[in-house]
């Protein structure tokens, strides 16, 4: 039996796509292997969103050169955001790579001609599984390479997504995380223009499914209808990822984000008014070209004011081909970027420790994902990691856990009862900020 190995770097979209590639290969008779050295087919699923990710990909491809030169026959393929339309240039840089295929595609060249395969679902789905619903992005934020590598937005038909979720539930999945680079845009390119709120309402009726989440939203595209759907639908978790990127209007304009700090602030206020227990996460870029100390302070002060559950922070790195790389000088010194990044990390550690501390003594609903170091681990509806002990066989179960210890990165507690009868508002585990 031929073997395959997939090396993945980057976002959840890449992880979901690697799952699908693996599933597709298994339908064709391939078996998973633990390392590239044992595989007949090695797939590198790449990311170039930041310089650090791109460097890791290049390092990995260089390391595969010796494998390719060994006497064993091995096929090397590359997908993900490294693969742009200029494949010839990639072939020159990495002559040992046999195939380049675009992100979101399957390695169909592996299949013998005429082979019919069913759609590739995750092979051994865990309790919580990603489901891509829209590919690409139409936004062209000035720093971002995604629209150039994943093309314009393309939604999957709603019936196809619903059918896939039903099949996943049949295989034991309890939570689906709907994925898109700009998930709020879902459906505008489909007949009848259904939107994400319509899809959530449809999935909310799926028997056996416990939870639905979605990633990643865009502040200029988040509608009242969507906020209402999150508030109203029982299975939709109170958990929204809404990247702000900067707390300064000039920088937001240079980033071409399409909103102001005040618009963002009002949006968060509106969401919190309607869903008081909402868990909010955001993304921030520090050291964007010409970002002054004062502009950076604007970001710090916005984060202190809005108090997110999670902040993903990255230092700006120019991505060749983007507007920002072409038009702006990357003039914030590396040491300054690092210092700004550290400041935000320290601030967020403090904020989230305080938010989590307010869950002490509360009962939260946890979807059990597995065991780690002898303890069960799972997530609350707000995405917080919880550890607890129990003799039961719990993977995939939704349990109530009383929180006894909190920290910035996780919570610990005791299982209360397996009967989940908290109403939606109680399930939020509402905490004041
Ligand atoms: S919304 Fe902006 S940052 Fe997000 S994928 Fe699209 S272009 Fe990139």
The CATH number of whichever domain residue 35 belongs to comes to 3.40.50.12160
Distance between CA atoms of 48 and 78, rounded to whole angstroms? Answer: 13
Q: Do 308 and 290 sit in the same domain of this protein?
A: yes
State the pLDDT at residue 432.
45
The answer on pLDDT for 420 being more than 60 is: no
Task: Tell me what pLDDT residue 368 has.
Answer: 95
Higher pLDDT, 10 or 69: 10
Closest to 247 measured CA to CA, from 340, 327, 324, 332: 340
Ligand 1 atom with least separation from CA of 145: 8
Q: What is the predicted pLDDT for the residue at 116?
A: 63
pLDDT at residue 419, as a whole number: 55
CATH number at residue 388: 2.40.50.140
The verdict on 238 and 276 lying in the same domain is: yes
Residue 70 confidence (pLDDT): 83
Q: For residue range 181-191, list pLDDT tens digits in order.
A: 999 999 999 99
The 3-state DSSP class for residue 119 equals coil
d(CA 269, CA 258): 19
Say whether both 175 and 288 belong to one domain: yes
pLDDT at 123: 73
C-beta 139 within 6 A of ligand 1: yes
* Ligand 1 neighbour 179 (Cβ under 6 A): no
Per residue in 291-325, pLDDT tens? 999 999 999 999 999 999 999 999 999 999 999 99
Q: State whether 205 and 331 are in the same domain.
A: yes
Structural domain count of the chain: 3
> Which ligand 1 atom is at minimum distance from the Cα of 181?
5
Q: What is the pLDDT of residue 430?
A: 45
Tell me how far the alpha carbon of residue 426 lies from the centroid of ligand 1, in angstroms: 34
- Each residue's pLDDT tens digit, 367-396: 999 999 899 999 999 999 999 999 888 999
Residue 107 has pLDDT above 80, yes or no: yes
Which ligand 1 atom sits closest to the C-alpha of 257? 2
Q: Domain span at residue 11?
A: 3-110
Ligand 1 binding pocket includes 144 (Cβ within 6 Å): yes
The DSSP string of 332-369 is S-HHHHHHHHHHHHHHHHHHHHHHHHTTTT-EEEEEEE
Task: Evaluate whether residue 342 is within a structural domain.
Answer: yes
pLDDT tens, position by position, 195-207: 999 999 999 999 9
Cis status of the peptide bond prior to 216, with omega within 30 of 0? yes
> Which residue, judged by its Cα, is nearest atom 8 of ligand 1?
144
Q: How far is CA 342 from CA 205, 237, 312, in A?
A: 44, 30, 12
Asked if residue 301 and residue 169 are part of one domain, the reply reads yes
What is the residue with the minimal CA distance to atom 4 of ligand 1? Answer: 181
Q: Are residues 42 and 165 in the same domain?
A: no
The predicted model scores a pTM of 0.91
| Cβ of residue 185 lying under 6 Å from some atom of ligand 1 | no
Let me know whether 102 and 214 are in one domain: no
Whether residue 346 is found in the same domain as residue 211: yes
Q: What pLDDT is attached to residue 118?
A: 58
- Average pLDDT for 277-287: 97
The finding on whether 147 has its CB within 6 A of some atom of ligand 1 is: yes
Q: Are residues 72 and 208 in the same domain?
A: no
Q: Does a structural domain hold residue 292?
A: yes
pLDDT of residue 425: 58
SS3 percent helix, strand, coil of the chain, rounded to 5, is: 35, 25, 40
* d(CA 203, ligand 1 centre) in Å: 26
- Minimum-distance ligand 1 atom for the alpha carbon of 218: 1
DSSP 239: E
Q: Please tell me the predicted confidence (pLDDT) of residue 71.
A: 73
Whether residue 182 has its Cβ less than 6 Å from ligand 1: yes
pLDDT tens digit sequence for 136-181: 999 999 999 999 988 899 999 999 999 999 999 999 999 999 999 9
Q: Which residues of 293-319 are buried (b: 16+ CB within 10 A; e: fewer)?
A: eebbebbbebbeebbbbbbebbbbbeb
Supply the pLDDT for residue 239: 97
Domain end call among 310, 342, 357: 357
Query: For position 84, what pLDDT does the model report?
Result: 84
User: Could you report the per-residue pLDDT of 224-239, keeping only the tens digit for each?
Assistant: 999 999 999 999 999 9
pLDDT digits (tens, 9 = 90+) for 18-66: 999 998 999 899 999 999 999 999 999 999 999 999 999 999 999 999 8
115 lies in some domain? no
For ligand 1, pick from 103, 132, 181 the residue to mutate: most ligand atoms within 8 Å of CB: 181
pLDDT tier for residue 211 given thresholds of 50, 70 and 90:
very high
Residue 69: pLDDT band by 50, 70, 90 thresholds?
Answer: confident
DSSP-derived 3-state class of residue 402: strand
Structure-token pair, residue 17: 């796509």
Model pLDDT, residue 120: 65
Overall average pLDDT of the 59-74 stretch? 89
C-beta separation of 271 from 280 below 8 A: yes
Residues in the chain, how many? Answer: 433
Contact 194, 160 (CB under 8 A): no
Structure tokens at 73: 């026959």
CA 139 to ligand 1 center in whole angstroms: 6
Q: Does residue 121 sit within a domain?
A: no
Which residues lie closer than 8 Å to 33 by C-beta, 6 or more apart? 3, 4, 5, 39
If pLDDT is split at 50, 70 and 90, which confidence band does 134 have? Answer: very high
For residue 430, tell me if it sits in a domain. Answer: no
pLDDT single digits (tens) 352-370: 999 999 999 999 999 999 9
Task: Tell me how far CA of residue 416 lies from CA of 84, 234, 403, 427, in angstroms.
Answer: 52, 21, 10, 14
- Tell which of 357, 385, 401 closes a domain: 357
Does the structure show a pLDDT above 80 at 114? no
Pick from 241, 247, 269, 270: which is nearest to 260 by CA?
Answer: 247
Contact 97, 69 (CB under 8 A): no
Residue 267 and residue 370 in one domain:
no
In a domain, 227, yes or no: yes
Q: Whose CA is nearest to atom 2 of ligand 1?
A: 141
Answer yes or no: is the C-beta of 245 below 6 A from any ligand 1 atom: no
Whether 250 and 376 map to the same domain: the answer is: no
Please tell me if the CB atom of residue 129 comes closer than 6 angstroms to any atom of ligand 1: no
Antiparallel, parallel or unpaired: β 411-417 and 398-406? antiparallel
Q: Are residues 103 and 198 in the same domain?
A: no
DSSP 175-191: EEEEEETTGGGTTTTST
What percent of the chain is modeled with pLDDT above 90?
A: 83
Q: Is 148 in the pocket of ligand 1 (CB under 6 A)?
A: no
């Amino acid at each position: 039996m031929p073997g395959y190995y997939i090396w993945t770097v980057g976002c959840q979209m890449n992880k979901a796509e690697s799952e699908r590639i693996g599933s597709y290969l298994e339908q064709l008779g391939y078996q998973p292997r633990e390392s590239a050295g044992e595989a007949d087919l090695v797939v590198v699923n790449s990311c170039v969103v930041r310089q650090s990710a791109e460097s890791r990909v290049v390092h990995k491809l260089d390391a595969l050169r010796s494998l390719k030169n060994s006497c064993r026959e091995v096929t090397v393929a590359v997908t993900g955001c490294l693969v742009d339309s200029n494949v010839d240039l990639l072939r020159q840089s990495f002559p040992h790579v046999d195939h380049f295929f675009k992100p979101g595609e399957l390695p169909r060249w592996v299949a013998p001609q005429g082979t019919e395969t069913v759609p590739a679902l995750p092979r051994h789905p865990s309790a919580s599984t990603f489901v891509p619903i829209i590919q690409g992005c139409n936004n062209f934020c000035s720093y971002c390479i995604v629209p150039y590598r994943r093309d314009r937005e393309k939604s999957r038909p709603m019936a196809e997504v619903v059918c896939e979720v039903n099949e996943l539930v049949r295989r034991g999945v309890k939570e689906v995380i709907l994925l898109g680079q700009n998930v709020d845009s879902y459906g505008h390119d489909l007949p009848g223009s259904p939107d994400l709120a319509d899809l959530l309402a449809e999935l909310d009726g799926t028997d056996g499914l416990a939870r639905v989440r979605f990633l990643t939203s865009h502040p200029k595209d988040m509608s009242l209808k969507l906020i209402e759907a999150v508030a109203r639908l029982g299975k939709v978790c109170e958990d929204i990822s809404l990247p702000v990127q900067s707390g300064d209007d000039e920088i937001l304009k240079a980033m071409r984000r399409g909103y102001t700090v005040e618009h963002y602030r009002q949006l968060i206020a509106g969401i919190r008014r309607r869903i008081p227990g909402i868990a909010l996460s955001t993304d921030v870029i520090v050291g964007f070209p010409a970002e002054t100390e004062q502009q950076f302070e604007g970001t710090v002060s916005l984060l202190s004011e809005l108090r997110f559950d999670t902040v993903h922070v990255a230092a700006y790195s120019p991505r060749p081909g983007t507007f920002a790389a072409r038009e702006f000088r990357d003039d914030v010194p590396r040491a300054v970027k690092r210092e700004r990044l550290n400041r935000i990390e320290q601030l967020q550690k403090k904020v989230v420790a305080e938010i989590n501390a307010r869950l002490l003594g509360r009962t939260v609903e946890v979807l059990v994902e597995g065991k780690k170091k002898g303890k069960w681990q799972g997530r609350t509806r707000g995405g917080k990691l919880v550890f607890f002990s129990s003799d039961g066989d719990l993977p995939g179960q939704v349990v109530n856990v009383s929180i006894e210890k909190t920290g910035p990165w996780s919570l610990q507690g005791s299982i209360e009862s397996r009967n989940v009868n908290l109403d939606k508002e109680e399930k939020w585990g509402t905490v004041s900020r």
